Amino acid sequence: MTESADQVEIELARDADAAEISELSRRYIEYGLRQAYTPQRIRELIRHRSKNVVVARAARRLVGFGIMSYGENSANLDLLAVRKACRGRGVGGKIVAWLGKVATTAGIALLFVQVREQNDIAIRFYQRLGFNRVERIAGYYQGREPAVILCRNLRSLLAAAPSPPAAPVPRPLPDSEKPR
């Protein structure tokens, strides 16, 4: 990819993106673990009303994705990945800024993320975006690997957002409507 992040569009994922998102998750995030984010699971998340699954596209090619869950007072960045060949050009930062803007619009001030402790690159990436380490949880990943928990105050993220997305603001889902 030769495009800069300016030429990358962030948009809500469609069902047709599910298999590719699942494959990127398996390759870049869930490696060495039992895969939880199957194409079927991704399709459920795309339809879930208190979550956003977004993709980054460059010339229509899917180059990255992010999945966010929205709660009452905080949001959680569940997954984020950028294709290896497309890294270091601001795509990951743009996805986080887009999702952060949605959360801020919904009145949410705190954004949490969990990272495998061995994933130094992602930890440095999040710290660069203003996240701070708040906790370490042993055995977080399938009882086998620790997670580092990082948190960011979203009000400062807003200032760094490249452009405000016209994104739908998700509403918390009543238990009766949650996917099983």
Site residues, ligand COA (CB under 6 A): 28-29, 79-82, 87-93, 115, 119, 121-122, 124-125, 128
Cα dihedral sign, 82-83-88-90: negative
- The residue assigned the tokens 């009766």 is 176
Question: In the complex, what is the shortest distance from the CB of residue 177 to ligand COA, in angstroms, rounded to a whole number?
Answer: 27
Cα–Cα distance for residue pair 145/72, rounded to 1 Å: 28
Question: In the complex, what is the shortest distance from the CB of residue 125 to ligand COA, in angstroms, rounded to a whole number?
Answer: 4
- Distance between alpha carbon 23 and the CA centroid of its chain, in Å? 15
Q: Which is nearer to ligand COA, 54 or 174 (CB)?
A: 54
Q: What is the CB neighbour count within 10 angstroms for residue 34?
A: 8
Question: In the complex, what is the shortest distance from the CB of residue 82 to ligand COA, in angstroms, rounded to a whole number?
Answer: 4
**Residue whose beta carbon is closest to ligand COA:** 92
Q: Which is nearer to ligand COA, 120 or 172 (CB)?
A: 120
Q: Which is nearer to ligand COA, 46 or 58 (CB)?
A: 58
Q: Which is nearer to ligand COA, 7 or 172 (CB)?
A: 7
User: In which order are the strands placed within the sheet that holds 9-12?
Assistant: 9-12, 51-58, 61-70, 74-82, 110-116, 145-153, 132-141
Question: In the complex, what is the shortest distance from the CB of residue 174 to ligand COA, in angstroms, rounded to a whole number?
Answer: 28
Q: Which is nearer to ligand COA, 18 or 86 (CB)?
A: 86
Cα–Cα distance for residue pair 49/70, rounded to 1 Å: 9
Question: In the complex, what is the shortest distance from the CB of residue 139 to ligand COA, in angstroms, rounded to a whole number?
Answer: 18
In DSSP terms, 153 is beta-bridged to 110
